[in-house]
Amino acid sequence: MTAVSLADGIPLPMKRRGVANWVRSYLAMLRWDMTNTRLMIPILAFAQAISGAGLVLGFGLLIPSQPPLVAAYLVTGAAVVTLIMVGAAVGPQLVAQQKMEGSYDFMWSLPVPRSAAAMSWVTLNAIIAVPGMVAALVAGALRFDVSFAITPMVVPAVLITIVSGTLLGYALSHAIPKPEVTLLVSQILIFVIFGFAPIAFPAENLPSWMATTHQYLPFVHMANIIRDSLVDGIATDVAHSYLVLAIWSVVAIAVSAAVLRRRK
Amino acid sequence: MNGSTPPPPPRNVGSSAFQATDVVKTYDGGKTFANDGITLGVHPGEVYGLLGPNGAGKTTLVKQVIGLLKPTSGSITLGPYDFIEDPDVARQLCSYLPQAQMPIDSFKAHEAITITGAIRGGPPEAVRERTDELIAALELEEWRNTLGTKMSGGVRRLVGFIMTTVWPGRVVILDEPTNDVDPLRRRLMWEQIRKLAHDGVAVFLVTHNVMEAEKSVDRLAIIDQGKLVAEGTPSSLKAEDRQHLRLQLMLSPGTDTPSLPEFVAHDTRVGNNLITVISEDAAATGIAWAQEQMQLGVADEYALGAITLEDVYVRLTGHASAIEVEA
């Protein structure tokens, strides 16, 4: 082993760095995160699946028969809502729980690159979130006969949505010192996403100032790119949405990096 | 604080060791000093105790070492590495057992240990071997496959200790490691701590259990209100109190502290426990005075004994340690 040699002969190891160290750290942290939440993952994933399917079936109760395009819009909207909800709500709740049980300091004393720990977290969120999305789509296919045309673009669309959504939630929950406040903010986020983000309804239904605001927020664009990858001819201006989300992803990564590297 | 000695001069233990120099950490825009110019060093192979009452600034210092907090000023180094400049290397070179219990509800004991070993950069086979070795050494075989939720506080603490030391850094920081641990396994844990030091690790032990520290550390520092008030070996710290004895009175519940004779050098009262330090010459007079207090109904019993580190600690900090509070 290469070592820094010292006056009294006891060698100190070189600092671990580089891609191999990052990958090894990521895999080890993922093992930790998966084991840590293994009692909860099935429940959370199941809850996500139920809420995804429930949203779709709920739309069916509100408006029993819908034109195919409207049905496709609602069903894909439900899928996107369940996908975003995990990053905005479940993730922050898990971090708040760590802070409340006092294990946060231990987790942050572990010798892994912060970005590897963050990516492990994103992966965990994806595992919890994807079943909800799939359940919403299956329920949509069964209940409304929505015919999907799933393209390979579904992979980057889902990835960019989960990465930016989860990292924003993650940065938020690390930046707010009080876990009680994190939980409150997370509740407000859920309320905003569910009620006032034009995901399962067109932005034109909102007051114009709110619709304009949403052009700059990520939610409507997340819905647009995922929709585009699932159903033919339902989404427009997809390249613009990818651009907005790319910017949001960079912002999410930069904010996360700043928050995670910050020392009080 | 009575009879206080001036703080020792800054101690620099050389380039190979862990060294904190003039560490200052303030809050409230510089109004509150959590650490006020702390200088101390720990050699590889040494068990170093950091003692002080709750709120003295022990944990604040430790959190700066591992990069969870940033000092207002001062330096923290290990050999050529600057821990303040590079908190990533600090985390690679330091293992930390926090005072709070480990978050291992969903982990079996051996999983928590091997995964932490992997996170700490240990090769899988070596980590597995060392896990087995430490589980056997601390006699935890029957809990090997037990989930964290089913562990007692003491077992969880021991598993946390193994998680910290399964693939240790060059500095192992243990914050109250023996909390909740039964006496037998405390002894086993101390054996392992000694073994770590023997292997060249600098062990940094944070505690307010003075009696345990007296038996176990090579050197120690006492900090109070953010300042280092004494540093040395247990016996060097007791040197000033040679030719003195400890006269302890268990006062009757509800009585006030009696007025103390002139031969009492220092005194502290914790609950009904009155601890005084008297000179050896005054032993007979002291016993007579203690007996008189019993006859007057002020005290229920008394004990005369040798000065311990506890008495030094009480003199320097004005606080009794955990053991005294429990007594």
Asked if the Cβ–Cβ distance from B79 to A101 is below 8 Å, we say no
Cβ–Cβ < 8 Å for B323, B211: yes
Strands B219-224 and B47-51: parallel
Task: Output the furthest CA–CA distance in chain B (Å, rounded).
Answer: 69
Contacts of A21 in chain B (CB under 8 A): 121
| Secondary element (H or E) of residue A85 | helix A68-85
Cβ–Cβ < 8 Å for A192, A184: no
Report CA A1 to chain centroid distance, whole Å: 40
Residue B308 banded pLDDT, cuts 50, 70, 90: confident
The residue among B42, B83, B82 whose CA lies nearest residue A10 is B42
Q: What is the DSSP letter of A232?
A: T
Q: What is the DSSP string of B108-150?
A: BHHHHHHHHHHHTT--HHHHHHHHHHHHHHTT-GGGTT-BGGG
| Secondary element (H or E) of residue B305 | strand B299-306
Cα distance from B312 to chain A (closest Cα, Å)?
32
Helix/strand/coil for A109: coil
The residue among B59, B88, B85, B56 whose CA lies nearest residue B70 is B85
Strands B18-27 and B32-42: antiparallel
Q: Where does residue A241 rank: exposed (0-12), middle (13-18), buried (19+ CB within 10 A)?
A: buried
Q: Look at residue B2 and tell me whether its pLDDT is greater than 50.
A: no
For B23, B36, B57, B140, B291, the CA distances from B61, given in Å and listed in that order, are 8, 10, 6, 32, 45
Helix/strand/coil for B28: coil
Q: Give me the amino acid identity at A56.
A: V
Residue B184 burial (CB count, 10 A): 10
Higher pLDDT: A216 or A10? It is: A216
Residue A95 burial (CB count, 10 A): 22
- The confidence score (pLDDT) of residue B156 equals 96
Q: Give me the amino acid identity at B191.
A: E
Q: Look at residue B201 and tell me whether its pLDDT is greater than 50.
A: yes
- The confidence score (pLDDT) of residue B321 equals 61
Contacts of A44 in chain B (CB under 8 A): none
Q: What is the DSSP letter of B203?
A: E
Cα distance from A27 to chain B (closest Cα, Å)?
9
Cβ–Cβ < 8 Å for B270, B325: yes
Q: Where does residue A209 rank: exposed (0-12), middle (13-18), buried (19+ CB within 10 A)?
A: exposed
Asked if the Cβ–Cβ distance from A110 to B119 is below 8 Å, we say yes
Q: For chain B, how far is it from start to end, CA to CA, in angstroms?
A: 22
pLDDT digits over B66-84, tens only?
A: 998 999 999 999 988 999 9
Q: Look at residue A220 and tell me whether its pLDDT is greater than 50.
A: yes
Q: Look at residue B128 and tell me whether its pLDDT is greater than 50.
A: yes
Helix/strand/coil for A249: helix
pLDDT digits over B257-279, tens only?
A: 999 999 898 888 888 889 899 99
In angstroms, what is the C-alpha Rg of chain A? 21
Q: Look at residue A181 and tell me whether its pLDDT is greater than 80.
A: yes
Higher pLDDT: A95 or A216? It is: A216
**Both tokens of residue A256?**
């996360």
Contacts of A102 in chain B (CB under 8 A): 98, 100-101
The residue among A187, A185, A132 whose CA lies nearest residue A161 is A132
Among B44, B86, B119, select the one facing A112 at the smallest CB separation.
B119
Instruction: Give the C-alpha separation, B167 to B115, whole Å.
Output: 11
Cβ–Cβ < 8 Å for A216, A244: yes
Report CA A78 to chain centroid distance, whole Å: 15
Q: Look at residue A107 and tell me whether its pLDDT is greater than 80.
A: yes
Contacts of B199 in chain A (CB under 8 A): none
Among B69, B86, B101, select the one facing A264 at the smallest CB separation.
B69
- The confidence score (pLDDT) of residue A175 equals 83
| Secondary element (H or E) of residue A63 | none
Cα distance from B15 to chain A (closest Cα, Å)?
7
Q: What is the DSSP letter of A1?
A: -
Asked if the Cβ–Cβ distance from A12 to B93 is below 8 Å, we say yes
Cα distance from B80 to chain A (closest Cα, Å)?
8
pLDDT digits over B283-301, tens only?
A: 999 999 999 999 999 999 9
> B32, B106, B174: which to substitute to probe chain A, counting the most A Cβ within 10 Å?
B106
For A173, A174, B36, B139, the CA distances from A263, given in Å and listed in that order, are 15, 12, 19, 39
Instruction: Give the C-alpha separation, B307 to B311, whole Å.
Output: 6
CA angle A42, A71, A241 (to 5 degrees): 75
Asked if the Cβ–Cβ distance from B115 to A112 is below 8 Å, we say no
Q: Taking an 8 Å Cβ-Cβ cutoff, which residues of chain B contact chain A?
A: 14-16, 44, 63, 66-70, 78-81, 86-89, 91-94, 96, 98, 100-103, 105-107, 111, 115-116, 118-121, 169-170, 200
Asked if the Cβ–Cβ distance from A12 to B119 is below 8 Å, we say no
pLDDT digits over A190-212, tens only?
A: 888 878 888 888 888 889 999 99
Q: At which residue do the structure tokens 């590297």 appear?
A: A261
- Give the torsion through C-alpha atoms of B168, B172, B176, B177, to 10 deg: 30
Contacts of B170 in chain A (CB under 8 A): 12-13
Q: Which residue does chain A place closest to B111, by CA atoms?
A: A35
Asked if the Cβ–Cβ distance from B91 to A32 is below 8 Å, we say no
| Interchain CB contact of A105 with B (< 8 Å) | yes
Q: Chain B neighbours among A 20-39 (CB < 8 Å)?
A: 21, 24-25, 28-29, 31-32, 35-39
Asked if the Cβ–Cβ distance from A38 to B106 is below 8 Å, we say yes
Cα distance from B60 to chain A (closest Cα, Å)?
11
For A52, A236, B173, the CA distances from A70, given in Å and listed in that order, are 17, 15, 61
- The confidence score (pLDDT) of residue B5 equals 42
Query: Average pLDDT over chain B, rounded to whole?
Result: 89
The residue among B299, B290, B296 whose CA lies nearest residue B247 is B290
Cα distance from B185 to chain A (closest Cα, Å)?
23
- Give the torsion through C-alpha atoms of B51, B52, B56, B62, to 10 deg: 20
Instruction: Give the C-alpha separation, B212 to A95, whole Å.
Output: 36
- The confidence score (pLDDT) of residue A104 equals 79
pLDDT digits over B214-253, tens only?
A: 888 999 999 999 999 999 999 899 887 888 999 999 999 9
pLDDT digits over A92-106, tens only?
A: 888 888 788 777 788
Query: Average pLDDT over chain A, rounded to whole?
Result: 86
Instruction: Give the C-alpha separation, A257 to B6, whole Å.
Output: 44
Listed in sequence order, the residues at least 6 apart from B245 whose beta carbon sits closer than 8 Å to its beta carbon are: B277, B278, B279, B280, B283, B286, B304, B305, B306, B307
Higher pLDDT: A73 or B129? It is: B129
Q: Look at residue A218 and tell me whether its pLDDT is greater than 70.
A: yes
The residue among A173, A107, A259 whose CA lies nearest residue B163 is A107
- The confidence score (pLDDT) of residue B189 equals 96
Contacts of B14 in chain A (CB under 8 A): 7-8
Q: What percent of chain A has pLDDT over 90?
A: 30
The pTM assigned to this predicted structure is: 0.85
Contacts of A111 in chain B (CB under 8 A): 88, 91-92, 119-121, 169
> B15, B16, B60, B174: which to substitute to probe chain A, counting the most A Cβ within 10 Å?
B16
Cα distance from A131 to chain B (closest Cα, Å)?
22
Contacts of B106 in chain A (CB under 8 A): 35-40
Mean pLDDT of A126-155: 90
Residue B10 banded pLDDT, cuts 50, 70, 90: very low
Q: What is the DSSP letter of B41?
A: E
- Give the torsion through C-alpha atoms of B115, B120, B126, B131, to 10 deg: -50
Asked if the Cβ–Cβ distance from B92 to A38 is below 8 Å, we say no
Cβ–Cβ < 8 Å for B159, B140: yes
Instruction: Give the C-alpha separation, A109 to A104, whole Å.
Output: 9
